[in-house]
């Protein structure tokens, strides 16, 4: 059985007025306005926070990129400074070595009774593989053809050769290993006299000839060969080389002796040209 509700006009009007009064009361109390303000504030705050986060991230990224660029620039500057420092260190080492070589050379030059001229090697003749050494001193400096040339290397004095060509500012030395070079020499220990000649290459040993077989037992590898000074072409008692091999030949009355030059010509940089006819004014004695 269905239940039917019937409203009278007076009851409907009363209900409508009751609803209207409640709504009006709510708006009058500001309840809806406050809710809308809070909702808007929440939305705006969230939006502002998101925008601020994005902007901060972008700013930090640009700052990091800029800082990285600055670090790269600083790294390049420091790397270049390190290279310059290493170059300076190498230069200082080279200068120190050069000063030591010059000091050694000047000290030796003062012990020579003959007038002498220190010189720098500026070239070598490629046609005969180092045979022909060019120096930076010539006739304007007092150099003359035929002057003997010596050098000091690692504290050891040795014969280099003699001047064969003289220009105004440069000269050419024929070294002892040249096949055309012959030097009257003695074996330092036994004082036996012989003739030393080159074989055309600084890597090849020199040849000492005319040493009699009878002295073979008195000789040893490593014995020093010195200039005799008898021909007056070279200073007396200047070391030339060391004996490296001794051969006894049945068909020859003389020994075949090989000699290694006392000067390492591949490392030779400076020499001293001597004038046998003039006295060294700065001579200090040995």
At residue 138, the pLDDT reads 95
Q: Which residue has the higher pLDDT, 108 or 203?
A: 203
Residue by residue, DSSP assigns 217-256 as: GG--TT-EEEE--TTSSS-TT-EEEEEEEEEE-TT-SBEE
Helix (H) / strand (E) element for 277: namely: strand 270-279
Q: How confident is the model at residue 26 (pLDDT cuts 50, 70, 90)?
A: low
The arithmetic mean of pLDDT across residues 153-181, rounded, is 93
Q: Which residue has the higher pLDDT, 131 or 114?
A: 114
Q: Does 36 have pLDDT greater than 70? A: no
Burial of 94 (0-12, 13-18, 19+ CB in 10 A): exposed
At residue 97, the pLDDT reads 66
Least confident of 29-33, 191-195, 202-206, 217-221: 29-33
At residue 147, the pLDDT reads 95
Q: How confident is the model at residue 27 (pLDDT cuts 50, 70, 90)?
A: low
Least confident of 18-22, 104-108, 163-167, 169-173: 18-22
The C-alpha angle with vertex 166 and arms to 157 and 106, in degrees rounded to 5, equals: 30
Q: Does 254 have pLDDT greater than 50? A: yes
At residue 34, the pLDDT reads 45
Least confident of 84-93, 115-124, 226-235, 240-249: 84-93
Q: 211-225, pLDDT tens digit by residue? A: 999 999 999 999 999
At residue 154, the pLDDT reads 85
Q: Which residue has the higher pLDDT, 111 or 3?
A: 111
């Amino acid at each position: 059985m269905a239940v039917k509700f019937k409203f009278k006009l007076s009851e409907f009007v009363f209900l409508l007025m009751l609803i209207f009064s409640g709504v009006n009361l709510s708006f009058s109390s500001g309840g809806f306005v406050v809710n809308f303000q809070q909702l808007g504030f929440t939305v705006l705050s969230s939006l502002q926070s998101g925008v601020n986060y994005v902007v901060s991230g972008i700013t930090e990224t640009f700052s990091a990129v800029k800082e990285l660029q600055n670090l790269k620039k600083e790294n390049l500057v420091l790397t270049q400074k390190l290279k310059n420092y290493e170059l300076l260190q190498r230069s200082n080492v080279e200068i120190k070595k050069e000063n030591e070589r010059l000091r050694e050379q000047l000290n030796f030059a003062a012990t020579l009774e003959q007038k002498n001229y220190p010189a720098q090697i500026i070239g070598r003749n490629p046609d005969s593989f180092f045979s022909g050494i060019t120096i930076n001193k010539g006739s304007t400096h007092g150099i003359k053809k035929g002057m003997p040339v010596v050098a000091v290397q690692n504290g050891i004095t040795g014969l280099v050769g003699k001047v064969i060509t003289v220009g105004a500012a440069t000269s050419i030395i024929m070294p002892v290993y040249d096949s055309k070079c012959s030097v009257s020499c003695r074996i330092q220990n036994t004082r036996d006299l012989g003739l030393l000649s080159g074989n055309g290459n600084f890597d090849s040993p020199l040849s000492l000839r005319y040493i009699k077989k009878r002295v073979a037992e008195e000789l040893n590898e490593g014995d020093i060969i010195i200039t005799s000074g008898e021909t007056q072409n070279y200073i007396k008692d200047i070391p030339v080389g060391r004996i490296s091999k001794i051969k006894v030949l049945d068909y020859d009355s003389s020994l075949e002796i090989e000699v290694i030059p006392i000067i390492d010509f591949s490392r030779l940089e400076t020499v001293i040209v001597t004038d046998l006819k003039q006295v060294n004014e700065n001579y200090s004695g040995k």
